[in-house]
Structure 1
Amino acid sequence: MPPSKVELYAAIRRDIRAGLSIREAQRKHQVGFRTVKRALDSAWPEPRKKLPPRQTRLDVYKPFIDEILRQDLDAPRKQRHTAKRIFNRLLDEHQATDLSYGIVRHYVAQRRDQIRIQAGRGPSAEAFVSQTHRPGAEAEVDFGDVTVRLNGEQVVLFLFSFRLSYSGKAVHRVFASGGQEAFFEGHVHALSVLGGVPFSKVRYDNLKAAVAQVLGFARQRVETERWTAFRSHYGIESFYCRPGIQGAHEKGGVEGDIGWFRRNHFVPVPEVDSLAELNALVEQWDIADGSRRIGTRPRTIDEHFAAEQPHLKPVPEEPFETGRVFSLRVDRYAQITVRTNRYSVPVRLIGRQVRAVLHASELVVYEGRTEVARHERLIAKAGSRLVLDHYLEVLLRKPGALPGSTALEQARAAGKFTPIHDAWWEAVRKAHGDAEGTRALIQVLLLSRHMAHEHVVAGIAAALRVGALTCDAVALEARKAAESEEPTAPSAPAPEPSPVVSLTERRLAQLPPDNRPLPSVAAYDELLRRRTSGTSRPADD
């Protein structure tokens, strides 16, 4: 491999210093006099002269392109020329068929910033200044959207992130909505995990959960009342970033954290059965991420957090009600409406006033201080979530309404009404008719109020096998299934499973023993002997 020009100059200078003449150095290195002269003048070769730019087919169109870019300086941001639009105008207005799109795109990319600088607008790229954060002083909060396959359906959820600025320790939580309830619950979860509150400030964007109005000067904001109360309870000092993309740069730590977390843990798209299962995974990911290093830091996140945690303010012991409370009246369908979605309550509450507490992931309904219903919060709008158990009392009086009811359809979809229920229902309707058979099924469904669902299903299956089509038989077999799952002593042998018996056999087995002697038929045998040994009557003449 031939030596570089720097190495050639170094060799020439070395030989000249050793006493070699210029002519001998020329012959030895096979170079000319000027090269030897330049090597003696400087150890560093002169840069190669740039060739003058060659003429291109775009030269005649450059003034037209420059004028377009100057006009774009005052045009609306979303209505400025792209390179593709400029190329199309060159074709339409100047018939520039000899140009390619690549040539135009390359020129526009170079000239756009040059024209901005010439016009005194400054460069289009924004400059950033490195920041140093004190331990326990600051944090950043933001939401990001993630796509998940939830219970077989692809949905978009909201990822909450609370990130300490010094250590980079972040706590995440996934919610069905990005409303105020999720905003508060994310804070409560993060502060409990971190074990403290930053003593200086927490950076936010202008999300509706916290900001009611953005004033047109400085950084003044009109906060929502519940957010003000929440901040006061936990001692949080808020700092609101500028609106738009400029504000996102002011909390770049949490913006980058959400992107990193989404790329590393939500790719490929996770498949879960519930939000609780997903958040359990998120907690494990947060713990694992504590062992990584951010950038070129010499220590891990957990090592930095160990030094930061003692500087955090303590979390108040008294809880804060994060849910939003609604006072609602139950309609004639035994349902309440909360934010366009409908949820069922027991039918006995029709026409009454109830109190509903809407959380980020669930809805809890109270009658006075007694909880009467609990639902998983609906993600979509204008939906309904009905529980079949809430309608059983009215279905006893109207059994014909059960087959086409929405509550039954949702119970089937949720796996609460199984094919075993359908098989037992079909059998009991054949035996007792549609109305009485459906009432018997409803009585079986009422067993789930004081027995486990899986035990009731096991009881239905056992009763169906022996043809016992009564609620008592199902209850008896369900109780046996529950007793068989009770833990036994380690030393005692495991009991053998008892065979399935009918209700009549079970009752007969529970009768007290009869110690009376068996009856004798000897007297009847004596009567038979006397009849056969007697004389027959004479025949009539």
Structure 2
Amino acid sequence: MEGQIGYFRRNHFVPVPDVSSLTELNEMVDQWDLQDDARRIGSRPKTVAEYFAFEQPLLRPLPDEPFETGRTFTPRVDRYSQVPVRTNRYSVPIRLIGKRVRVVLHASHLVVYDRNVEVARHERLIAKGAVRLELDHYLEALVRKPGAFPGSTALEQARSAGKFAPVHDAWWDQAKKIHGERDGTRALIEVLLLSRNLPHEHVVAGLAAALRAGAMTADAVALEARKAAQADTDPSSTPDAVPPGKTPATVTSLHEWRLSHLPPDTRPLPSVTPYDQLLRSHRDDRGTHREGEAQ
């Protein structure tokens, strides 16, 4: 066993592979394992995979309860809503500032718990002195101070990770033109808050639909995102096909959407005829009173 680990390291990790993430490295290791199954050790008549197929039934079964392999830390959340873990820092929701949390550090990721509730999950940083921020952790603070949003490090990292797509920027630019810098940015932050209750791809679809129709409000994006989610779960609810070369650009207002979901109103239209009769009666009484005063 130990000799084969050394063989694997010398043949696949020398020189050290150049990868961008641990996920990419793990995928490479999986491919090397498959290739190694066909290898014969020395002059043995069977391959590695054939010997393992013989030995596998003799191995003891895995335990029923999962074994925690991570290392636990209990750091305190600083004023920047970050926790120090080894030589790096990771963000947590701002409501936890000043509290002590539990961090379980694994080989490729770490999980942050407030008591027994998971509040954050990050890919583990490999470099030293690095910071990994989640934009969603700062939205409550940014909605109160939207001026800090454009230059924030959390926004820059969200762009690099692909979580802040070009459609976000396009919708944001139009919102600032219509509502102004401050209110347009606040509207975008309200859109980002939708991702807590709706999948990211549905929010992006809602942004695209609202942008085509010129609807620069978070309510319009929320409605279109829910329509996209409904279309995914119920394909029969998908609107009619759009002719080639044309793009649907209609966004239903929340008021119209609510009315369309109400049962039909079969009551007769109201009439003001009784009130008109009272007005005429009042005018007649006033005329009679004036005639009596004149006499």
TM-score range, shorter chain: 0.7 to 0.9
Which residue type is aligned with residue 441 of structure 1? L
Q: Residue 446 and residue 296 in structure 1: after superposition, are their counterparts in 2 closer, same or farther (change >3 A)?
A: same
**Structure 2 unmatched runs, 5+:** 243-247, 270-295
Q: Determine the C-alpha separation between the residues in 1 that align with 2:184 and 2:44.
A: 71
**Is the Cα contact below 8 Å between 2:175 and 2:184 reproduced in 1?**
yes
Equivalent AA in structure 1 for residue 166 of structure 2 = P
Q: Which has the larger radius of gyration?
A: 1
Q: Which whole-Å deviations, capped at 9, do the CAs of 1:477-515 have from their partners, x for residues lacking one?
A: 111111222255xxx797635744233497077274789
Question: SS of 1:364's equivalent?
Answer: strand
- 1:432 alignment counterpart: 179
Where does residue 257 of structure 1 map in the other structure?
8
Aligned pairs for 1:357-368 (under 5 A) are: 357-368=104-115
Change (3 A) 1:469 1:495: closer
- 1:373 is aligned with what amino acid? A
Match of 1:507 in 2: 256
Alignment correspondent of 1:97: none
Q: What does residue 530 of structure 1 align with?
A: none
The amino acid across from 2:256 in the alignment is R
Would the alpha carbon gap of residues 335 and 276 (structure 1) be closer, same or farther in structure 2, given more than 3 Å must change?
Answer: same
Cα deviation, residue 257, structure 1: 2.7
Correspondence for 2:278: none
* Aligned mate of 2:40, from 275, 293, 311: 293
RMSD: 2.9
Please report the TM-score for the alignment, with normalisation by the length of structure 1. 0.44
Describe the SS at the equivalent of 1:403: coil
Match of 2:133 among 386, 399, 406: 386
After TM superposition, the score normalised by the length of structure 2 is 0.78
Q: Distance in 2 between matches of 1:317 and 1:516?
A: 68
Please give the secondary structure, in 2, of the residue aligned with 1:283.
helix
From the two aligned structures, give the one with the greater strand fraction: 1
User: Alignment partner for residue 201 of structure 2, among 454, 459, 466?
Assistant: 454
3-state SS in 1 of match to 2:75: strand
Quick one: structure 1 residues 487 and 285, their matched pair in 2 at CA, closer, same or farther if it must change by over 3 Å? farther
Amino acid at match of 1:256: Y
How far apart, in 2, do the equivalents of 1:505 and 1:382 lie?
A: 47
Structure 1 CA distance for aligned equivalents of residues 84 and 191 of structure 2: 30
Secondary structure of 2:233's partner? coil
- Out of 300-309 and 431-440, give the one that drifted further: 300-309
Deviation at 1:288, TM superposition (A): 4.0
Structure 1 residue 313: Cα displacement: 4.6
Partners of 1:304 and 1:501 in 2: CA distance: 64
- Name the SS for the 1:322 alignment partner: coil
Match of residue 347 from structure 1: 94
2:219 and 2:254 in contact (8 A); partners too: no
CA distance in 2, matches of 1:309, 1:416: 43
1:423 counterpart SS class:
helix
One-letter amino acid matched to 2:69: T
Shift of 1:430: 1.5
Contact 2:224 2:251 in 1 (8 A): no
User: Which amino acid in the other structure matches residue 255 of structure 1?
Assistant: G
Change (3 A) 1:516 1:307: closer
Q: Distance in 1 between matches of 2:253 and 2:224?
A: 13
> Residue 516 of structure 1: CA displacement?
6.6
What residue in structure 1 maps to residue 191 of structure 2? 444
Aligned 8 A contact 1:364 1:374 in 2: yes
What is residue 143 of structure 2 aligned with on the other side?
396
Map 1:38-49 → 2, pairs under 5 A: none
Q: Runs of 5+ in structure 1 lacking a partner?
A: 1-138, 141-250, 518-541
Tell me how many residue pairs correspond in the alignment: 261
| Cα distance in 1 for residues equivalent to 2:226 and 2:61 | 50
Q: Give aligned-pair identity as a percent.
A: 60
Alpha-carbon separation, structure 2, partners of 1:300 and 1:495: 57
Structure with greater helix percent: 2
> Does the Cα contact within 8 Å between 1:459 and 1:478 map onto a contact in 2?
yes
5 Å-filtered alignment, 1:413-432, equals 413-432=160-179
